[in-house]
């Protein structure tokens, strides 16, 4: 299972056009996508958040590691579901298309692959903080997916890609900031 996840993440990052072409032809139930791709990937991000704090801090601090993993888990799940919901609503209201939440969940999940992979790497290797800039490549991943996967016309593709990128990248950060404000004990 993790080998398949790794292969999809690498394909989405290295060849997004080819990946979206394959994904648009792939018959996949939402439950299969969630249980075989997204949930294990978010679980991996959460585990690395836990281990990253244990191994990168000078002192062994289990409480801090648990706080980090809880914040990462809630921000990842919440960001995913909130982004899928917002994009589905924009799809209905702004683009006047029919609602399709399962398709949006898959689109947001696959589009978030780079962001989740970077979270894994940077949690374990925080000294490579400069790699955060590569999260902007998500714009290109979404651009490539807008045509074959969602059927966005060329004249609205830039507008859609800009909105989708902002929503997909900022929702986990917004939830993480809200958690920090609402529960100051999660700050470290």
pLDDT in tens, 121-131: 999 888 888 98
Contact 146, 160 (CB under 8 A): yes
Nearest to 83 by CA among 59, 112, 125: 112
| pTM (two decimals) | 0.89
- Residue 188 has a pLDDT of 57
Q: pLDDT at position 186, please?
A: 62
Low-confidence ranges of the chain (pLDDT < 50): none
pLDDT of res. 49: 92
H runs (alpha helix) in the chain: 2-14, 16-25, 30-33, 39-56, 62-93, 101-111, 113-124, 138-146, 154-182
Angstrom distance (rounded) from CA 112 to CA 108: 6
Instruction: Look at residue 135 in the predicted model and tell me its pLDDT.
Output: 92
């Amino acid at each position: 299972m993790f080998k398949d996840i790794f292969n999809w993440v690498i394909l989405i990052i290295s060849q997004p056009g080819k990946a979206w072409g394959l994904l648009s032809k792939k018959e996949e139930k939402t439950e299969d996508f969630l249980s075989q791709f997204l949930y294990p990937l978010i679980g991996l991000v959460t585990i690395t958040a836990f281990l990253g704090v244990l191994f990168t801090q000078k002192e062994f601090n289990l409480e801090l590691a648990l706080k980090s993993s809880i914040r990462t888990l809630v921000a990842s799940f919440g960001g995913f579901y909130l982004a899928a919901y917002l994009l589905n609503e924009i799809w209905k209201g702004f683009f006047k298309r029919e609602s399709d939440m399962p398709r949006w969940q898959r689109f947001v999940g696959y589009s978030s692959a780079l962001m989740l992979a970077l979270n894994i790497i940077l949690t374990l290797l925080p000294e490579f903080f400069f790699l955060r800039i590569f999260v902007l490549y998500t714009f290109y991943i979404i651009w490539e997916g807008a045509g074959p996967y969602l059927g966005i016309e060329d004249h609205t593709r830039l507008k859609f890609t800009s909105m989708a990128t902002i929503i997909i990248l900022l929702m986990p950060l917004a939830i993480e900031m809200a958690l920090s404000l609402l529960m100051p004990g999660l700050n470290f």
